[in-house]
Amino acid sequence: MDGTCIPLLEQGHDVLMLIFSSSLSGMYLTAKAAEVELQAKYPQRKIVAFDTRCASVGEGLLVHYALKYRDEGYTFEETLQWVTQNAKRCIHWFTVSDLHFLHRGGRLSATSAYLGTI
């Protein structure tokens, strides 16, 4: 993590990190390592790295509503519970204009990428 939550923790805030899907990126593992490190340094604070299993607009909606919950006075636990329940309800539809990067990233075989491009 880039250290942006350290000032928040030092000010006495808890931190809920809503992380891009672990199925698409290694960022969640990095965030979990940061959670463990920060929890050791700030044991009095609540620090949670949450795998949204979402991307793009789905992740953005979870962040939007988590902030809304926080601003309406819900507790950290209530906000985390809402995010946990609703992350499972996000449905993702997406298209790609080129299968090249799906192949390069190991998500498609060379044959599938070739045939899909045809």
Domain ranges of the chain: 6-87, 94-118
**What are the backbone dihedrals phi and psi of residue 18, each rounded to the nearest 5 degrees, phi first?**
-95, 110
Domain 6-87, classified CATH 3.40.50.300, yes or no: no
**Which residue matches tokens 């045939």?**
115
Q: Which residue blocks in 6-55 are alpha helix, DSSP H?
A: 6-10, 27-41
pLDDT in tens, 45-71: 999 999 999 988 889 999 999 999 999
Is the pTM above the cut of 0.75? yes
pLDDT in tens, 73-101: 999 999 999 999 999 998 877 777 888 88
Token pair in block for residue 54: 């979402």
User: Closest Cα partner for 24 from 58, 64, 1?
Assistant: 58
